Structure 1
């Protein structure tokens, strides 16, 4: 617990004890975590000395609610060991089952009906619109692998060079290398370097300008389907969100051309970092939607995604390596259709 949390706790405790105040010392003894994924739900024992009776009081801190619990049972080391063993075994079983599911998808014919017209796959001209080099590998790898494996004609439009750190030229070459790993022809990858579309958290992009650039690309390659970020942009990056708004602007002004648009659904932080285990929640969620507005795409080759991201050597630092390993976007994409 940090200092602010401790002060908050003491205030709550003093409300419970009213006129009694904590004067001597506080010792925290961590006993056990009851958690699933990133749900923080911990039990602490506190030993407090009070000025009036110097009594020892046990307090249970559960979901931010403080309760007096004098008779709380202390767990033995054997019980704690067994609890941790059960938790770790359950996580291991989930990971193994998830890996088997991914392996099954890669070895056998996929049952995904995305872009199938009555069971017949029609070759589509698809444009993937991203904000920066490395977005394709970090977030859209399952979608890219599916589209390439099904024989669709995929083009990538990157709206900036990612020059926030002065590495724009390097990152352009890295995108070409990553595209080769993902089996996207280099000539079908376009990187925009516009003075008003520069990488940066505080740099807002003009939606009309984005729509015009995307429109030119769709006309040049007879694009009939666009895939991009949703309005949150996975990470909340303003450039990701602006790309989404630019595509929506295009969809509004070119409604007569009937361009189909799908967006990558952003998920909460607990699912986002649950890794391969999230494939089950994604599959369940998409199957609960019976209107055909959602599609769940499993990554048929996660190793290829990792290799593609490794081509972005200027960005391949330790926390991005962990992100690619534990991010659910490495293993599954949930797409939602954008209505005009």
Structure 2
């Protein structure tokens, strides 16, 4: 009796993980193999192999853009943003992606700063971002009791990005929402600071957008693949029935806990497949080795942020 509940949980985790692999990896890759002319003929037009993506809307609307991920600490890019970061970085989307990290992650001790800064660069390389596109600031203190100034964040973004687009591409900013994933004050400060910078210098002046990562409640945050399986299954079933049986063109959006406090004209959902999840695990477990204490492994097993991101456009 003592071990029955843990064993049932392990079995449930295993079954849901297998279903997730089927929905996100086996079925899409099989369909790609039989529907893509380049793969069928073994003749390719570009240097990158055709790769399936699971996003809503499809195709990904962020193309040919300069994309800035604005994070608070080394490991935020994996723990919270890895599905969208890996997807947006894919070569087929032709985006220039940069990471701006506002601290060195030295909350425990200052000696951690250099270690974690180097680990961030190593993690970014695993994901596909070169070191020169990783910007780490050292004038913001990491900590749950640290509230960063909106003006200081604004000035730092002016210094690192500028008040006008660095090239002719659209500019996309991606950061935390006003709940900061887990009410982390550093994350929340970045939301308000980035919003101030965006509305003052970019919004309505240049082709640009600000997206924030939707904070998930406790149940969804630790559901791993369970809710994703339901969403993807219903989504694909409805699309098949509506598009192929009824011959109608209707957009179906299935989501749990979708209420948010933002006035939004659009949002983007990004789902990982097994290949992307493997990259996330490598970036976290190998790239951020100093952070791999016991509870991080629990996060890798149960966190939905590693397989799903909901980016909401700020309006």
1:140 aligns with 2:62: no
Report if the CA contact (8 A) 1:265-1:335 is conserved. yes
Residue in 1 that maps onto 2:227: 278
Residue in 1 that maps onto 2:135: 190
1:304, CA displacement in angstroms?
0.9
Task: Assess, with a 3 A threshold, how the Cα gap between structure 1 residues 173 and 287 changes in structure 2: closer, same or farther.
Answer: same
Distance across 2 between alignment mates of 1:88 and 1:316: 22
- SS in structure 2 at match of 1:335: strand
1:331 aligns with 2:307: yes
Distance across 2 between alignment mates of 1:162 and 1:181: 19
Aligned residues: 256
Partner of residue 233 from structure 1, selected from 167, 180, 184: 180
Gaps of 5+ in 2: 33-51, 236-251, 256-263
Distance across 1 between alignment mates of 2:66 and 2:57: 14
Partner of residue 321 from structure 1, selected from 290, 293, 297: 297
Task: Assess, with a 3 A threshold, how the Cα gap between structure 1 residues 308 and 86 changes in structure 2: closer, same or farther.
Answer: closer
Q: Deviations over 1:97-145 (max 9, x none)?
A: 112122148734335355958x8x7311100000000100111110111
Task: Assess, with a 3 A threshold, how the Cα gap between structure 1 residues 294 and 191 changes in structure 2: closer, same or farther.
Answer: same
1:221, CA displacement in angstroms?
4.1
Residue in 2 that maps onto 1:312: 288
Distance across 2 between alignment mates of 1:260 and 1:244: 14
Residue in 2 that maps onto 1:176: 121
Distance across 2 between alignment mates of 1:224 and 1:115: 20
Q: CA RMSD in A?
A: 3.1
Task: Assess, with a 3 A threshold, how the Cα gap between structure 1 residues 258 and 104 changes in structure 2: closer, same or farther.
Answer: same
Distance across 1 between alignment mates of 2:312 and 2:89: 19
| Greater C-alpha Rg | 1
Larger relative contact order (CA 8 Å, sep ≥ 6): 2
Distance across 2 between alignment mates of 1:299 and 1:257: 31
Distance across 1 between alignment mates of 2:193 and 2:28: 34
Report if the CA contact (8 A) 1:263-1:338 is conserved. yes
Q: Deviations over 1:136-158 (max 9, x none)?
A: 01111101110112332110000
1:110 aligns with 2:32: no
- SS in structure 2 at match of 1:175: helix
TM-score (norm 2): 0.72
Q: Which has the higher strand share?
A: 1
- SS in structure 1 at match of 2:107: helix
1:305, CA displacement in angstroms?
0.3
1:152 aligns with 2:100: no
TM-score (norm 1): 0.67
Report if the CA contact (8 A) 1:99-1:276 is conserved. no
Distance across 2 between alignment mates of 1:316 and 1:261: 31
1:266, CA displacement in angstroms?
0.6
Distance across 2 between alignment mates of 1:85 and 1:125: 47
Distance across 2 between alignment mates of 1:144 and 1:191: 17
- SS in structure 1 at match of 2:225: helix
